[in-house]
Amino acid sequence: MARRNLNGLRMLVTGASQGIGRALVLEAAKRGCRVLAAARSQTLLDELAAESTKTSSTVKTVAADVTKPEDRTAMVAAATQHFSGLDVLVNNAGIGATGHFMDSEPDVLRQIFETNFFGLAETTRAFLPLLKQGVKPAIVNISSVLGKRAIPGRSLYAASKFAVMGFSEAIRAELAKDGIDVLVVSPGLTQTNFSKNMLEQKAKIQLDHLRGMTSEEVAIATLRAIERGTLDVTLTFKGKLLLLVNRFAPWIIDKVAKKKVRELFADEIAERKKKLTEAVTNAS
């Protein structure tokens, strides 16, 4: 667990064109980092590069999809070309979906895991040779509070973030021999366009009105964790409260969640009971 001076650090941020990733690029560059911004949209990357020139000239871009092997190779090549290596890898790229598991399609779950877990893991694998040669190197995985406590209607996304958490804990020990720190930042509901870019939005309860921290606040908290070498950071008051209750009395959250689901599906439950009663009556 190393403390770092951000000035001069070579950093790659995936999912950098919007939201937390974009804020991270701009804030890190402002603090003297040399930043490689990676995202699928070259147009949005160009806009980000133009914005960064107002405060810094150290932002480079590479159009890349973390789920594609050739694009991961392109990111490594870009980091080598522009910075001759890398010190901090920020795995931020992610997608989501809402809705109940029984209403979802297998392809949606696979798409979420391809980006949120497999893309993250394989991007990490691709950059390990460079990170081993970096200055106080670190891998920063942007997870979620839902990667520590899942809630109804977010099962697919939560599952992918639980995988990220488990992966991070395992490689944290494995990479200690190489001097590479593995940090996990778990934001709560954040004010971004994330919900607008979801694969599906089928949840009966919308949580957008509860979004608290801004992308900029998450970026600042993430950079603070990198500076201090803080290995596990949970953000937002509501997120911390959820995990506190879950730690000491998880049954409370289970009870509240079940009650809410029963309320949302009251008509369906009543109809099912009616059919069962009719079936029993007819059988007798």
- Given a contact cutoff of 8 angstroms between Cβ atoms, the answer to whether 137 and 180 are in contact is yes
Is residue 98 within 8 Å of 202, Cβ to Cβ?
yes
| Residue 238 main-chain phi, psi, to 5 deg | -65, -40
The whole-angstrom separation of Cα 43 and Cα 62 is: 11
Q: Which residues, other chains included, contact 218 with Cβ-Cβ below 8 Å and sequence gap of 6+?
A: 20, 23, 185, 187, 190, 235
Annotate 161-199 with b (16+ C-beta within 10 A) or e (fewer). Answer: bbbbbebbeebbeebeeeebbbbbbbbbbbebebeeebb
Residue in 83, 117, 157, 167 annotated catalytic: 157
- Confirm whether 69 is a catalytic residue: no
End-to-end Cα, the chain, rounded Å: 70
Integer Cα distance of 236 and 226 in angstroms: 18
Provide the angle, in degrees to the nearest 10, between the axes of the packed helices 69-83 and 120-131: 30
Residues forming the active site? 157
